[in-house]
Amino acid sequence: MPDESPHELQDLTQRLAFAERLLAGIAQANDSLLNVTDYRKSIQSALSILGKSTRVDRVYLFRCHEDQATQQLLASQKWEWVAEGIAPEIDNPELQSFPLEALFPRWSAELPQGKHIAGLIRDFPASEQEILETQNILSMVVVPIAVRTTFWGFMGFDDCHQGHVWSSSEVDALKTVANSFGGAFARREAETQLQQVNDSLEARIQQRTAELEASAALANSANRAKSDFLANMSHELRTPLNGILGYAQILQRSEELKSQEKAHASVIEQCGQHLLTLINDILDLSKIESQKMSLYPSELDFSSFMQAIIEMFSIQANQKGIIFRYNLSSLLPTGIWIDKKRLMQVLFNLISNAIKFTDRGEVEVRVTGQPSIGKTDQASRQQYYLQFEVHDTGPGISPKDLRQIFTPFEQVGNIEKRSKGTGLGLAISQKIVEMMGGELNVNSVLGQGSCFSFAICCPEVKLESRSALEPSTRKVLAYQGETKSILVVDDRWENRAVLTNMLAPLGFQMFEAESGEQGLEKATATKPDLIITDLVMPIMDGYEFIRLLRQHKSTHQTKIFASSASVFQSDQQKSLDAGGDCFISKPVHLRELLQALQSNLNLEWIYEKKVLRQAQAVDRGALEIHLSSSPPLETLRDLQKLALSGLIKAFRNELDRLDQTSTKYQRFTQKYRTLAASFQLKSIQSSLEQAIAEYLPEVSETEYL
């Protein structure tokens, strides 16, 4: 191989020295960009570092934006560093809001696509040379800057003395530092956006407070007035919902109602839950503004959680006439440690939005997961990386609207569909995802659809082995042992009625009181095993009532549950500090209430088990005829496994196979095909459980656990 010439060696040495300076400068610039205390100073410092390390004559940043009237891409110089002896251009009015396409059409076309402009000016198009040579530029490189995948502007390096020819590796290095600037701008935009949320919310709350308060002099401060308003609104809206949702649960447990009527009660419950979600959206944004929102993680059966979501939204999509698909990775963990309520809130918002704005086509939910190798939490639990995606074939979102969809109270898209929400869901979801350590992203093509996605890391938890008939999912009939008495104290008769009608059928002796004073009298007279009290009552509130109970010798050890529509964690903690043993939120969920009763009163539930009893007078001949028209036991078990896993498509395929096997199964398959069409997984599981039980040896009708 021939020896390199002295000129080539010198050029190589210069290149290596330049590369070394460039890398060192990029590292220092990145450190400067991480300085969040002075945003503008950190940007200017980074430009200075890059200019000196590359030994160019000018380094600058241009911000690009779309003109609302002409739809042209306009560019404005925002930052600049110049070497000694070089005239600055930062104050040049011609470099502010000029049409990029008119002066530099090549730049306007290539930079937004992630391409760069580099080379000697003499090799540039004549129109560009004419403009650039007036600034005595010999060579330059211009690289794009993106903020969260959106084109923000560009960064340029001018050489007015040597005419440096930039290599591809040097340009790549400059693109890397441009990404760092994009990250700094993204952080700045997020800070600005959050400040705008705070300012907007504060203005709206103050306006609403002024309307509700007859005199501002009666309020000690704006924050106190806002807290009072939110507490009252929470109680007044959630209290009637307690009656709606409570009686919906009671009706679904009734043995006298037909299955269709129970399904109607289920619809009432779902609508009530949706209304409750809208109310919580307004309250949650206020918590975010006041930095009172916190995450409360707990053990979550992730498989059952996703199955419930799929079942709920499959019905909604089916009613609207669009396809609902779901793709759950086989690598997903069975149990995770996370705030179930907040994760449900984010998914509910994203999926319901997708269904709401999609009139034709489909909505698809994809969930993938993989363990984060080598990552564990403080409890040495394996960290799992979970990716959630919600795709739809709706109208899509324009680039203009994409910039405001996460702004509170802002709604984009079809005017008719905007009125179906508060305009807060995405802003709240974005904040919740950030609190979970992730970032909510959106990609959308106008006229084709949108995709909202986020990724989070959470610990995996090992759940205890659960049978197909998990006790907590079965209907509670009663409890073992002597009768327990419960006193319900609430100034609202509907709240007392809900608890009484929930618990009396289970064997509890129920007493009622409509005030704290009456509650004290009945507590000392009846000596109940448990007292459930509201917190917001006239004259004597629940806190004072609990304190007096704890001071009285006949009730100082009685179990006390506080039940309230308040959503503030401080109110819940205040009830426990006053002497309460447990807090039950309104609207009351029966399963939550039963769990609290079981742990505090040491109860053993008696669960319903719908199978044959030996004592029953069963017509064995009729049973054999019935079984002859049912699939084999093994087939029933296979169907049960598919239903428990939520694999509706495979479940339907198995029904089709049965129809091809024999015509005698048609009545059976038609029944389950109807249930599968509306994704009634719980009804399918319950019915299959009973069908399997008919094959099994005779056992007791109830089971004690």
For the CA atoms of the chain, what is the radius of gyration? 33
Residue whose C-alpha is closest to residue 24's, from 43, 44, 52, 56: 52
pLDDT of residue 229: 66
Omega prior to 587 cis, within 30 of 0 = yes
Edge-first strand listing for the sheet containing 150-159: 98-99, 73-82, 58-66, 150-159, 139-147, 117-120
CA atoms within 13 A on the CB side of 216: 9
Q: Which two tokens stand for residue 555?
A: 């009730």
Contact yes or no for 137/119 (Cβ under 8 A) = no
Beta strands in 138-227 (DSSP E): 139-147, 150-159
By CB neighbour count within 10 A (0-12 exposed, 13-18 middle, 19+ buried), where does 319 fall?
Answer: exposed
Residue 238 burial (10 A CB sphere; 0-12, 13-18, 19+): buried
Give the pLDDT score at 466.
45
C-alpha to C-alpha distances, 456 to 31, 314, 387, 626, nearest whole angstrom:
27, 25, 7, 51
Q: Quick one: pLDDT at residue 214? A: 58
Using CA atoms, how far apart are residues 552 and 543, in angstroms rounded to an integer?
15
Quick check: 245 and 269 in contact, CB under 8 A?
Answer: yes
pLDDT of residue 618: 42
Relative to beta strand 362-376, strand 139-147 is: unpaired
CA distance 567 to 586: 9
Are residues 43 and 193 in contact, defined by beta-carbon separation less than 8 angstroms? no
Q: How far apart are CA 320 and CA 680, in angstroms?
A: 16
357 conformational bin, left if phi > 0, alpha if psi -120 to 50, beta if neither? alpha
Sign of CA dihedral 98, 103, 107, 110: positive
CA distances from 380 to 320, 334, 364, 375, 376 (A): 46, 17, 34, 9, 5
- pLDDT for the residue numbered 419: 42
pLDDT of 560: 93
Can you tell me whether residue 140 is helix, strand or coil? strand
| Token pair 């939550």 in the structure block, residue | 592
Helix (H, G, I), strand (E, B) or coil at 410: coil
What would the pLDDT profile of 563-579 be if each residue is shown by its tens digit?
A: 887 656 777 788 888 89
pLDDT along the chain (705 residues), means of 10: 56 68 79 74 88 90 89 92 90 90 91 92 91 88 91 93 86 88 85 84 82 59 59 67 76 72 71 70 62 79 84 81 86 88 89 90 92 70 90 89 71 49 72 90 91 92 56 73 92 87 89 92 92 89 91 90 76 86 86 90 81 41 50 81 75 84 78 75 76 56 38
pLDDT at 347: 93
**pLDDT tens figures, 235-260:** 677 777 777 777 777 777 777 777 67
